[in-house]
Amino acid sequence: MSSEDVPVGQADGAVAGRRLHFHVLRHNPRDPASVPSVQTFELEEAAGMTLFIALNEIRETVDSSLAFDFVCRAGICGSCAMVINGRPGLACRTLTKDLPQDISLSPLPAFELIADLSVNTGKWMRSMSERLQAWVQTQEEELDLGRFEQRMDPDLADEIYELDRCIECGCCVAACGTARMHDKFLGAVGLNRIARLRLDPRDQRSDDDFYELVGNDDGVFGCMTLLGCHDVCPKNLPLQTQIAYLRRRMAKIGFG
């Protein structure tokens, strides 16, 4: 490759100069004086600016009390899901250049509000995991760790990983019609977990066992097939296919 065609990414290309208006829904439910309200912050757009950079800049320069959650800031950990101009997404990897000048930010619905843009997804996910016993359930015997691991078909390992990529960010729950109306619904995140465990030969449970967990209105039969989950999943998990497949399997069990 010659020096003329050295490729240059957009890290170099974003145009600065816009003045952005962030309309942030603010509320601290533990403060009796707090009333939910929208506060507007203005900020000069910078090249390569993400919502992670913008929100931190607002907090550092304008309002040090603004609450939000970031951890990895690389789209990997799922901490920073919020509603961005009406659509759930990961704030850390959302570039402001892809948004209009007016940017509305609000916390994910369906989860307990901590403050401002921070919600308690952790509590929700743990409770979901406990209800579904969402771990690989093997026979209770002490493993001999000195021995070869159990073999697995390479394609099957890849298929399991495909579903294992879920980061429990909560976007699918926030975008789910059923979850918004019905707080016991397991959401696509829960159904995807079951689909993942069903695929895994290390999990000893049968479809009858899984039916006990998700063969009801809190589970796979509660889905109204609106599939907002599939549209917003930041990891592009095949939620539509998985839910449809799981529902067919579970219906079969249900009808005996």
**Which range binds another protein by CB under 8 A, 17-25, 127-135, 206-214, 224-232?**
127-135
Q: Which of residues 207-246 bind another protein (CB under 8 A)?
A: none
Q: How far is the CB of 68 from another protein (least distance, A)?
A: 8
**Which range binds another protein by CB under 8 A, 103-111, 121-129, 176-184, 241-249?**
121-129
Q: How far is the CB of 198 from another protein (least distance, A)?
A: 12
Nearer to another protein, 144 or 208 (CB): 144
DSSP-derived 3-state class of residue 62 = coil
Nearer to another protein, 197 or 229 (CB): 197
Q: Which of residues 47-106 bind another protein (CB under 8 A)?
A: 47-48, 50, 59-60, 64-67, 69-79, 93, 95
Residue 240 near residue 176, CB atoms below 8 Å: no
Q: Contact with another protein (CB under 8 A): which of 43, 84, 99, 125?
A: 125
The CA radius of gyration of the chain, in Å to the nearest whole number, is 22
The residue type of 212 is E
Position 38 contacts another protein (CB under 8 A): no
Alpha helices in 33-186 (DSSP H): 51-61, 121-132, 154-164, 171-174, 177-181
Nearer to another protein, 203 or 247 (CB): 203
Token duo for residue 12: 């170099």
Position 121 contacts another protein (CB under 8 A): yes
Q: How far is the CB of 94 from another protein (least distance, A)?
A: 8
CA-wise closest residue to 30 among 118, 106, 121: 118
CA dihedral 139, 145, 147, 150 (to 10 degrees): 40
User: What's the rounded Cα separation, in Å, for the pair 9 and 197?
Assistant: 39
User: What's the rounded Cα separation, in Å, for the pair 103 and 82?
Assistant: 12
Q: Using CB under 8 A as the criterion, what x/- string covers residues 9-28 for binding another protein?
A: xxxxx--------------x
Query: Which DSSP symbol is given to 11?
Result: G
Q: Contact with another protein (CB under 8 A): which of 185, 203, 214, 229?
A: 203
Query: Which DSSP symbol is given to 122?
Result: H
